[in-house]
Amino acid sequence: MNNKQNQKWWGLAFVWAGALVSIPSLLLGGTLVSGMTLMQTLLTALVGYGLVVVIMIFQGMQSSDLARPTVKVAEYVFGKKGSQRVISTLIAVGCLGWFGIQANVAGAAFNGLLSAFGLHLPLWVADLFWGVIMVGTAIYGIKAVRWLTYVAVPYLVLVCLYGLFHALQTTSWSQLMAYQPAHHLSFATGLTTTLGGFALGAVIAGDYSQYSPHRKDVVKAAVWGVIPAGVLMIAVGAILTIAYRSSDLSALFIKVATPLIGGLALVLATWKVNVINAFSGGIAFNNVFNVPQKYQKPAVFLVGMVGTVLAIFGIMNFFEPVMNLLGAMVPPAAGVMSAAYWLVNRGHVDTAAPVANYHWRGIVAWAAGALIAAVPVVMSFFPNLPHLSVNPLTGIVISLVLYLLLVRLGQPANENRREEAED
């Protein structure tokens, strides 16, 4: 066991709960219930986050075994350069984009809080203010993530429960059960939305699980950190949407609680999520450019500040389609990594060594799954084209199966590593 692997499972569970106790999770509940009944929404949340947990467990245990982050574990299946050029780039861009979006949400929430007291601040100033605070917190690494979630998660849960109690004072449980949406959303589409919302987080689970000493700690943290928090947030978002007939949850938080309590909840929700975005983005950025570990803090700072600047200039308004595309393209990497580590090497850390350059089997298998998962997203950019629905799980399964076929057709993954490294 590595000396740094002293993380308690409940500490990691708090990190995962903190990532899900967020505004996007509440908005997801409102989105699902706009096309489903309340019970269908809760079932979709339970199944969706259950699948997310499975991905996180298999990804997290690899990093726990090796005491290395996701991008370093990926070297075993994509090669060192393959991990740098492909996987790290996708993760870095994804984290950068979400940091900018969340910084913009925090700035807007902060402005809403100030306006309730008759104060006004330019949005770009608010974005910059909170972007600097968020990246400053992220520089302190995993310890800052843990302590921020220890404070933020209980507070946010209490505010959400208060909002839920307030909503149930005006809307009875029987009315919630009798609710019928204006349009129909299929279970498959709802599952796609739920999985896609935390797909990137599931794949980079190893960035935080690398500090866990045992596999069982990874399992307990994922199960107890993700499912209760995720389902609770979707339930709150759905019930508030039904009760107040509005999906503008940011405004609802200000109205349901006092402006100070509600505004603080919104800011904390984006703050803790962005610390995770900057931390993982910095790790991926370092791997892309082969930056030494000692420069991780400057990399985290750079990722956070670039995201903040992009938010200030409004570029993030056009970034969400790219985020959806990354949400489709990143998860298949987990399929390839799981196939190599768990099925080919049977979960043993000493049966394979990282390939020096590119591991083409892994890259081809990932590319096939990513392409198939990304086609419906690209088609959605063009209103005249028919819309297809492909579950993010589809790309994972395709990449996993194709990698196993390529291994079967070629040399065994455990043998002749030296020859493959010279390719």
One-character DSSP codes across 135-164: HHHHTTTHHHHHHHHHHHHHHHHHHHHHHH
Residue 415: per-residue pLDDT: 47
The domain limits of the chain are 9-320
Q: Is the pLDDT of residue 5 over 50?
A: yes
Question: At a CB cut-off of 8 Å and minimum separation 6, what does 277 contact?
Answer: 95, 96, 98, 99, 102, 138, 303, 307
**Could you tell me which residue, 234 or 321, shows the higher pLDDT?**
234
> Hey, what amino acid is at 77?
V
DSSP state of 21: S
User: What confidence tens digit (pLDDT) does each residue in 137-163 have?
Assistant: 888 766 777 788 788 888 888 888 888
Q: What CA–CA distance (Å, rounded) separates 25 from 239?
A: 13
Poorest-confidence range of 2-6, 33-37, 411-415? 411-415
In angstroms, the CA 153 to CA 133 distance is: 18
pLDDT at 383: 76
- The position carrying tokens 């570990």 is 293
CB-neighbour burial class of residue 282 (10 A; exposed 0-12, middle 13-18, buried 19+): buried
Tens of pLDDT, residues 182-195: 888 888 878 878 88
Q: Please say if the pLDDT value at position 176 is more than 60.
A: yes
pLDDT for position 391: 67
CA-to-CA separations, 403 to 276, 286, 329, in angstroms, rounded:
30, 27, 16
Is 411's pLDDT higher than 70? no
Distance, CA of 13 to chain centre: 14
Name the token pair of 229: 């928090």
Residue 420 has a pLDDT of 46
Give the model's pLDDT for residue 270: 82
pLDDT band at 343 (very low <50, low <70, confident <90, very high): very high
Instruction: Compute the chain's Rg from CA coordinates.
Output: 21
- pLDDT at residue number 341: 92
pLDDT tens digits, 282-326: 888 888 887 887 777 888 888 888 888 888 887 656 655 766 777
pLDDT in tens, 71-109: 889 998 999 889 888 888 888 888 888 788 888 878 888
Cα distance between residue 139 and residue 224, in whole Å: 27
Helix axes 142-170, 123-138, angle to 10 degrees: 130
From 138, 7, 145, 142, select the one nearest 64 (Cα to Cα): 7
Q: Looking at per-residue confidence, does 423 or 275 come out higher?
A: 275
> 9-320: CATH homologous superfamily?
Hydantoin permease (1.10.4160.10)
Cα(359)–Cα(353) distance, rounded to whole angstroms?
11
